[in-house]
A and B are shown apart, each in its own frame.
Chain A
Amino acid sequence: MLDNLIRTKGREGRRGYTLPNNDVGETSLEKVLPKEALRKEKPRLAEVDEPTVVRHYTNLSRQNWGIDTNFYPLGSCTMKHNPRANEVAANTPGFAGLHPLQPEAQAQGALRVMHELQGFLSEVSGLPAVSLQPLAGAQGELTSILMVKKFFEDNGDDGRTTVLVPSTAHGTNPATASMADFGAKEIGLDEHGCVDVDELRELVDETTAALMITNPNTCGVFERNMKEISEVLHEAGAFLYMDGANMNANLGRMRPAEAGVDVMHFNLHKTFSTPHGGGGPGCGAIACSETLAPFLPDPAVERDGENYVFVRPDNSIGRVAGFHGNFGQMLRAWNYIKMHGPDLRDVTDMAVLNANYVRARLGGTYQVPYDELCKHEVVVQPPKGIKALDIAKGLIDHGYHPPTIYFPLVVKEAMLIEPTETESKETLDDFVGALLELAESRPEELEEAPTHAPTRRLDEARAARQLKARW
């Protein structure tokens, strides 16, 4: 079968870039390296000219949907508009050309950006200490839980073996607990889809290290008992960690510290509009209490008089990134927050307004398992007899990126819709219209969708069975 890979578009000898001339005279590799260290065979890479490269990747991009091209209500992912000013900020030569090991005195502008962003995240969360180093949300989680681990180890409390995880949690939560050598124990929900406080009281004991809570949770429901939950944990000497994936629902409306959260992560690529880039890079900054602050990754940025400096927190867990973290994403988020100021609360208000509007419009046709106020996202189920997968693929033919489907796991045929604040009422009305129309479709018709996308449905089993992951 013919593929369309870049390598097929080349001819031996073609080049896509010209390098400067050698102005120092050639040093032959054979002279400076032992023969056995030298490569024998040329790697089979594309040999193409620049116009071919540009056309190839431009055409590939056209097979992709992004926020720029389509409404993208992917639950738990906060696919909001990415302001282009952030891209200008991240491409400013004075930052783009800065080497991470340049001494602090040579990077005062960059350190100041980091210090200010630490302050902004501290203000939004109410927590006093921040690290920007974790490179993604999942790594922010791991960093937080490793800090909890080290707190207990340094205090000689080696009986803390368990991390509690609600059944609605993102998959990264239990995986993180395992990676930090904790056992993950699942905790059930009450009738509102929230953590069952009675069950929590039964489960929490001297082996509990932490509870990982997401608020609003992945059903889009606010965990209204969070304060009480934190008290139960704190009485038992355990910590409350908050997964901040859903912070877009909280800006200026709820500060995690005031609900008893000890440590949390942010997804700068969700809440603070840094682009998702097809799956990364992100930034999973964390914020924590005074108690946990000494355990933050090395280094943190502090202000020392007129200067900004890197410091190693006293009981640091060490570093989680090669350098200081994804600085480009920090710049973007810093710029975004500066363009909003205290009006960040309006971001949350419009996000929650949009989600509740979709909930209200879909109710009656789609089932809404927790049909009360939702926050920035809403979980719905298709009418009986129709699969979430088929609705999702049908939406593609209507020009919409599907919502997250089959998550949260506690809701059968779940469709998790997160419109974000950057979408207009007209967009939501058209989207709801498409969903209502799809609900009337015959299942066998839907099963054919999509028919207007760059490809039809794929044989995913074949990809795994006959693994071919390279040219």
Chain B
Amino acid sequence: MLIRIDADGVILSGLGQGGVYRTLTRNRGYCRVSRFTPHTEEDVREMLDVIGVETLDDLFADVSPKFEGELDLPPALSEYEALRDVDRLAKENVSGFPIFLGAGAYDRIVPSTVGAIISRGEFLTSYTPYQPEISQGTLQSIFEFQSIISELTGLEVSNASVYDGANAVAEAALMTARLTKRDPKVAVSKGLNPRYREVIETYRVEVVELPFEDGTTDFSETPDDVSGVFVQSPNFFGVVEDVGASEAAHGVGALCVAVCDPISLAVLEAPGNLGADVAVGEAQPLGMPLLFGGPYAGYMATDQKSVRQLPGRICGETVDRDGKLAYVLTLRGREQDIRRAKANSNICTNQALTALAATVYTALMGPEGLREVAELSVSKAHYLAERLQASGFRLRYPEAPFLWEFVVELPDVKKANQALLDAGMVGGLDLGDGGMLVAVTEKRTKEELDAFVGVVADAG
């Protein structure tokens, strides 16, 4: 029998023979776990009686092999102590500095309203909306998310989101194989975020690499047996790509998948209008904090005729028995819980809460606000690029059009990044070949941009 002494010096004894009920105490205030579990000692006794067993151990009579020891975990902390640790560890991170890193995650402004809405318990603590009568909040927000993605991409139908941008890309690769009835094999270039490419490969899709020169992809020699051709624009190096990908893809009977930053779609032509069959991307720039890489949300959109091969949840409009308009998860025959081994993906959940963040963000911004976020970023990035060039640094792709991310050649990127850090800034991504990939968002001020140039110039 395990006996413990609580903070008041009251001895807590086990229940029954070997039945250890360690945390029950009359003084609830000192019972660590029980702030989340309401059971009093009396409740436990009554419930065990109804069940017809004597001890809690008896409830595990069928468990084999039993774990008889005590978990070797640090002792339970109060909320105050636990959060003190959180604060202490947070201080071991470099944060609060201006960030010039992008490469798939962007340090953008998150309006306060976004956090206020997504922390409402009715959204935060609900499950997948399987019971539509009591889930209209989540369902309508998904419908609005889908509408926003459809509008931005110029494609007819969007899903309710997938795990992240990389997984949206990988799911799109598999989707092209199903739609073309070819083996999963896709053409990409170095312009595709290398992390996206890695996830495609993990998903056992063959990848052929297209030539990449002067910052853009050459689609002219696309192999004729691929199921999909991927074009990321702006690409990994920030360059707005030519739009020849869809002709190249369709020319070999493959589908064209466009990978787009949703903020860029406020100012760039919608991929659906440029011949893309599928558009995917990372929704993080729409109101999600960086949070060391997640949770974010991936978006996926396609045309109506391909909708049955779209993975994940889709929310559709319908009516209830009184004829009242309502929303429900639909085309469920595509999904794993119905089709099991024949489902078009094993994906179960979407990223409802982060998709809601994107929905609220977009509502706050509106089309003009999104455009302004894009324009501010463009202005600031071009200001920085010009200042760097004026200080004698070369852009890697000086002729290529870009929005808010570009590669600058530096004599020693590591040294420059260290100097930036010493000056209270997080520098760009070291590409390992003398290039620094620099991202500039609407958050960066002229003062920060000027300081960046000064530090990099001094670092030599």
Contact = CB atoms under 8 A, between A and B. Distances in A.
A326 B75 contact: no
Interface string A325-364: 1111101000101111111111101101110110111000
Interface string A269-313: 000000111111110000000000000011000000000000000
Question: Ordered nearest first, which 10 A-B pairs have the shortest CB separation?
Answer: A94-B90, A323-B293, A277-B353, A68-B121, A100-B293, A281-B295, A64-B137, A109-B92, A322-B166, A66-B125
B42 to A, nearest CB: 9
A53 B346 contact: no
A2 B323 CA distance: 11
B61 interface: yes
Contact of B75 (A2, A107, A335, A342): A342
B123 A64 contact: yes
Interface string B151-184: 1100011101101111100000010000000000
A46 B366 contact: yes
A297 B201 CA distance: 12
Given A343-B22, A457-B321, A222 B62 contact: yes
Contacts of B146: 469-470
B285 interface: no
A347 B34 CA distance: 9
A32 B402 contact: yes
Nearest to B170: A320
23 contacts: A17-B369, A46-B363, A50-B113, A54-B113, A54-B117, A57-B356, A69-B122, A88-B83, A94-B90, A109-B93, A137-B348, A139-B163, A171-B343, A221-B62, A258-B67, A279-B160, A279-B351, A338-B85, A339-B79, A357-B50, A425-B38, A456-B133, A471-B143
Contact of B23 (A339, A346, A456): A346
Contacts, number: 688
B454 interface: no
A237 interface: no
Interface string B390-416: 000000000001110000000000000
Interface in B298-351: 304, 307, 313-326, 328, 330-333, 335-343, 345-351
Given A37-B243, A57-B120, A297-B202, 7 more contacts: A20-B442, A27-B382, A41-B270, A108-B92, A135-B295, A338-B82, A424-B43
A380 to B, nearest CB: 15
A280 B349 contact: yes
A203 interface: no
A468 B90 contact: no
Interface in B194-229: 195-196, 198-199, 201-204
- Among B96, B124, B339, find the residue whose CB has the most chain A CB atoms closer than 10 A: B124
Given A353-B56, A422-B36, A88 B328 contact: no
B41 to A, nearest CB: 12
A232 interface: no
A100 B105 contact: yes
B319 A97 contact: no
B262 to A, nearest CB: 10
A328 B86 contact: no
B312 to A, nearest CB: 10
B7 interface: no
B368 interface: yes
Interface in A1-53: 1-7, 10, 14-17, 19-20, 22-27, 29, 32-34, 36-48, 50, 53
Interface string A72-108: 1010010111110101111111111111111000111
A219 interface: no
Interface in A236-269: 251-255, 258-259
B39 interface: yes
A413 B80 CA distance: 46
B89 A113 contact: yes
A48 B83 contact: no
Contacts of A463: 316-318, 328, 330
A62 interface: yes
Contact of B134 (A135, A258, A350, A401): A401
B455 interface: no
Contacts of B72: 123, 342
B174 to A, nearest CB: 8
A279 B90 contact: no
A80 B35 CA distance: 13
A175 interface: yes
A435 to B, nearest CB: 15
A353 B317 CA distance: 41
Interface in A201-231: 221-222, 224, 226-227
Contacts of A279: 127-129, 138, 160, 313, 349-352
A347 B268 CA distance: 52
A323 B294 contact: yes
B13 interface: no
A136 B163 contact: yes
Interface string B370-383: 10110110111011
Given A425-B46, A457-B133, A458-B328, A19 B291 contact: no
A254 B66 contact: yes
Contact of B163 (A227, A281, A343, A468): A281
B125 A92 contact: no
Contact of B51 (A360, A393, A459): A360
A316 to B, nearest CB: 9
